[in-house]
Every structure is written in C-alpha cells, then in structure tokens.
Structure 1
Amino acid sequence: MSRSVLVAGASSGIGLATARAFAELGDAVHAAARREIDAPGVTAHALDVTDREAVAALAQEIGALDALVVSAGANIKQRRLRELSHESWDHVLGANLTGTWNLVHAFRDALFASRGSIVLIGSVSGSWPDRSGAAYQAAKAGVLALARAIGWEADGQLRVTAILPGVVDTPILDNRPEPPDAETRALMLHPEDVAAACVFAVGLPPRAYVPELTILPTALQAIGRTA
C-alpha cells in the first residue's frame, strides 16, 4: 500500500536521493527544500525549515502522513573555533537542529495518528570529534538526542530512527575550508547509500524498528577516525 512520505532537504544530496527512492517504490512523496527539486513523481514544496509559520502551513497542506525524513542541513567554511561567529553558530544550529524540531513539532500529531515513522539524518560528527566544526557537531549531537528523546516518549506509538552517516559525497563538502579532492570523494558514501537506509528503516514491519543506524564508507572511515 502506498505511503505518504515527506522528505525535507530534498533539493540535493541525501534528501534528493531519499525522495527519489521512496517515489520509485510508488509512495506518495512530498519533497521540501529551499531550492528547486529535481525528482520525478514527487510533489515539490518550497520550504525554509527555519520558518516555523511556513512549516506549520505545510503540515496543514499535507495532512495525513506516514513517514517524515528530515535531511535538511548546512555547514560553513568559517567553522573553526577561533573564527566561528555568533551569526554562523545560529545559522548552523538553525538549519540542522532547530529546523528538525520545527518539522517534528508540526507533523507530530499526524504521525502519532498514523503510528508512523520519523527518520532524522544526523552524523557520526555528533558523537566523535572531526573537521566539521563545533557548531555542526553540536547540532548533530542535538539531533541524536532529540531522536532518542522522541523514541523514549513515543512509547511505541511511532518509530524514530537516527541515521548517522560518515562522510558522504554531497554538495555540503564544498563548504569545507579545504574541499576534498576527487580521489577522496570516490571513496565516500553516496547519497543513495543513506537513502537505502532510510527506506529500510521505514519499511520494517510495525513490530520492529531501528533506533540508531551508523553507516560509514568502508575504505575511508572508522568510528572516531578519518583517514
């Protein structure tokens, strides 16, 4: 049976791959992002996840929902501690953590009604220090904590999965102080790898769920260490 799925952050990278993956399964997919969305078979919505009124309006427009996948996020070049500004901190926390909360808040009643699924795209950066910067790491740690808290309070009435990828070859890497070269990118996860994990989590039978799923590039990364 076709499910109603919303994928936020669907203009590129993990979000776009996830929207396409659910659409290929025949689900009714709503894809939301600030930029244009190139995903045949989905209903596209222009959305800034930090705009609470816009998120609430989208929830009213969509109505019933079986699964929410939040992949919206951002990072910046000036991410190192000695150059990180208040404005940059607010931007990164807003895009990665507050925006996630805005979507969860707006769609929680619909998801409880359907006994649905929430998938939050976090990062191994939320548990292990790396080059992604203090703001990004703090935000992704918050995403993981939010997923755990929702799962604890939901008490089996909905399923919540935090997916924690290692480094993925997406446009966000262009915002690194030193973007990786093509050889390194070739060893990274592809967005489709993480999309497959999202489909897996949502597609489990109702009696089962995965609270956390870590996925890493085999030849490049181990927990707590980057080559």
Structure 2
Amino acid sequence: MLTVQELNRFIEEQSAEGDVQRVWERLGEQFEQARADLPRESAMQRREVSFHDHVRLLGYLCALLGDAPGDLVEIGVWKGKSLALMNEVGRHRRVIGIDPFVLPKQFEEFSHYQRRLLPDAEIIHGFSELSAEHFYALEPRVALLHIDGGHTKRNVLLDYLIYAPAVVPGGFVVFDDYADWEYSPEVGPAVDLLRAGGFFDDFHVVGCAHGFENSYVLQRR
C-alpha cells in the first residue's frame, strides 16, 4: 500500500518532469479558447472553470496508476476541467462524471466544453444519491473515485457509501475540500466520522500529500 511519504516523493519526481502541470495549463488554455465560442445564452454568470489547483493531485494519481485497469469517476464535475485532466493523463480509460447540473446554464456550458474536450466521457445527469442504479448498470470497476459533489455531511457520507464499493484493489478514493473549513466546513468532519466508524477498514488511509492538503486519499486494500 502507498504511504503518504511515497506519494510525496512521486509527486516531487513528476513535478520535476512537469507533465501534469503542463497538461493542467494546456487544459486551462483550451477551456479559455472554448469559452470564446460559447454562445452568450449558454454562459453561466460564474466564470470559474475550477476552484483550486489541489485537483491537480488527480493527475498525479492517474500517472501513478500507470497501466492498471479501471475507470476514472468524478462526482461533481462543475464545468469539466478536473474530469478533463483525469481523461488526459489517464488515457485509454473510461471516464464517468456525475452531476445534477442544477445551477442556471451549468449544463449548457458544460455540454459546450464536453463536445470539445470530453467527447467520449460518460456523463450521468442527476444527483449522485439518486444515480446509483444508472452508475452500476455500467458495470464500473473504478481505479480513481473523486468525491466532490454536495458538501454537506450527508452528501459526503452517501457518496462514499454508495460509490466506494466499486473501487478495485489498488484503486484510490479522493475526498475534495477536506481541509476547507471556510467554504466546506462539513466535509472534513464527515471524512473523519467515516474513519472513526470503521468505514475505511477495506482501505489504507494515505492521507493528505504535501501541497495538496485539501485532498484526502484512500487506497483500496
């Protein structure tokens, strides 16, 4: 099982090569170019493509997986940049995104980017707690699960309990916003509650990598 020290070393080595950072920056440019062609009636008021760079950890974990089989799954895709990062670094894998797209114009804007940058992604349009049947009908074998949907304690608990069983041995679960006490104060306590309650017994707790303290990582035993 991966230790946090080993993960830190891997990130340092990959950072020296710069591949993940280059992909992240290139995706930023591609999203900006796609935004230039976005019809005004399809644009959200909020312009953020992503909220913080901690999601770059997903790229490092995809690189760490190498040729190990499995799907890449994200709960809460927003406009698709982190999903696109997973798709780009984790080539030849099925990519699945789950999101209710409830904010005004969110689905229209995401769909515009998807056509450009994620044409082969499987997108489940719905609340994650109501999308389990659709998800499991895809017969998923998940190598990386990014939990970044609803940020209430209930949302975090349900997303883990519903979707973590699909993670294969050696695969990763990443809880986003674990350390974000200002904007997502219920996420960290929910993750800690799961751990204290024994719900991580089938996982090895990797924890938070240096520089990516907002992301809490587990690895399936």
What is the TM-score of this pair, normalised by structure 2?
Answer: 0.49
What is the TM-score of this pair, normalised by structure 1?
Answer: 0.47
